[in-house]
Amino acid sequence: MLLKISRPLTLLLVSAAFVPLAGCASNRAQGGAADTQYVARDVNTLYNAGKDKLDRGQYKLAAALFDEVERQHPYSIWARRAQLMSAFSYYAAKDHQKSIDAARRFLSIHPGNKDAPYAYYLIALNHYEQIEDVTRDQSITRQALDALNELARRYPNTEYAADARLKIDLVNDHLAGKEMEIGRFYQNRHQWLASVIRFRTVIDDYQTTTHTPEALMRLTESYLALGIPEEAKKAAAVLAANYPGTKWYERAYALIQEHAPAA
């Protein structure tokens, strides 16, 4: 994944904020399958067993135990916390779809809960961490962008929205990179009109990204190849006005001087 970054500290702090129930899990089962098979257990035992597995880094077992809290004790006040803890445990286990499903289930049952921003944040993170490099299909990237934008729109004053806005910039840069890759592909095959469309998309839709200077230079190249020097000069002029000290401006200037000095 091109945009991979470390897991936000806020996420870990939130998981730690869920204090386990008082008392110890004296009936805690040992081993793998025995931990998750159906045995009627009190909410205290189940929740603490899940928290213990989470602390030990056994994320899938933790998720299964938190799911059992909700299944066996659906009307307990701890069922709500267990839903979020399950979503976080699946996220930590990199089982992104199950984490998304758990977070969405929480939101469907508790839409106005104070922890709803965190559930939206988990959904966005799960999409974000599945983003692949620009040579691959970018549908998951657009899903990540939608989820991040929804979080920032719904809860603009939260710490989660602040982190989402940073990620939105990175995702837009990634999508612009995909457009650039396709545009260069068309240029290499002398499909100049198709390349113009891609570079214009970068300039029009992703103008604040790091790819804009190159897009303007490539647009200059493509317009010259199409025999439209006036449009090429306009693209080069925008490049000169906004990115005068870059290598992309130098290349565009050289192209104009060589192919359309008096145009």
Q: Report how many helices (DSSP H) and strands (DSSP E) the chain contains, helices first.
A: 13, 0
Mean predicted lDDT score pLDDT of the chain: 87
The pLDDT of residue 7 is above 50: no
The pLDDT of residue 4 is above 60: no
Q: What is the pLDDT of residue 14?
A: 47
The pLDDT of residue 249 is above 80: yes
Q: State how far the Cα of 5 lies from the Cα of 220, in Å rounded to an integer.
A: 35
Question: 192-211 pLDDT, tens per residue?
Answer: 999 999 999 999 999 999 99
Q: What is the pLDDT of residue 40?
A: 54
Q: What is the DSSP letter of 190?
A: T
**CATH assignment at residue 49:** 1.25.40.10
Domain membership flag for residue 134: no
Q: Residue 62 corresponds to which amino acid? A: A
Domain membership flag for residue 49: yes
Q: What is the pLDDT of residue 38?
A: 47
Q: What is the pLDDT of residue 27?
A: 39
**How would residue 261 be classed by pLDDT, with cut points 50, 70 and 90?**
confident
Q: State how far the Cα of 7 lies from the Cα of 240, in Å rounded to an integer.
A: 39
Beta strands in the chain (DSSP E): none
Question: 110-146 pLDDT, tens per residue?
Answer: 999 999 999 999 999 999 999 999 889 999 999 999 9
Buried b (16+ CB within 10 A) or exposed e, 66-95: bbbbbebbeebebbbbbbbbbbbbbbbbeb
Question: 209-226 pLDDT, tens per residue?
Answer: 999 999 999 999 999 999
Q: What is the pLDDT of residue 76?
A: 87
257: nearest Cα among 196, 240, 241, 188: 240
Q: What is the pLDDT of residue 260?
A: 77
Question: 138-180 pLDDT, tens per residue?
Answer: 999 999 999 999 999 999 999 999 999 999 999 999 999 999 9
Domain membership flag for residue 54: yes
Claim: this prediction has a pTM higher than 0.95: no
The pLDDT of residue 26 is above 60: no
Q: Are 12 and 55 in contact (CB under 8 A)?
A: no
Q: State how far the Cα of 248 lies from the Cα of 254, in Å rounded to an integer.
A: 10
The pLDDT of residue 12 is above 80: no
Domain membership flag for residue 177: no
Q: Are 203 and 216 in contact (CB under 8 A)?
A: yes
Q: What is the pLDDT of residue 125?
A: 97
Domain membership flag for residue 209: no
Helix then strand then coil, in percent of the chain rounded to 5, is: 70, 0, 30
Domain membership flag for residue 169: no
Domain with 60, as residue range(s), is: 40-110
What is the token pair recorded at 238?
Answer: 């925008």
Would you tell me how many other CB atoms lie within 10 Å of the CB of residue 247? Answer: 11
> Any idea which residue has 């998304």 for tokens?
100
Domain membership flag for residue 135: no
Domain membership flag for residue 47: yes
Question: 29-76 pLDDT, tens per residue?
Answer: 334 444 555 455 788 889 999 999 999 999 999 999 999 998 999 888
Number of domains into which the chain is organized: 1
55: nearest Cα among 98, 105, 104, 16: 16
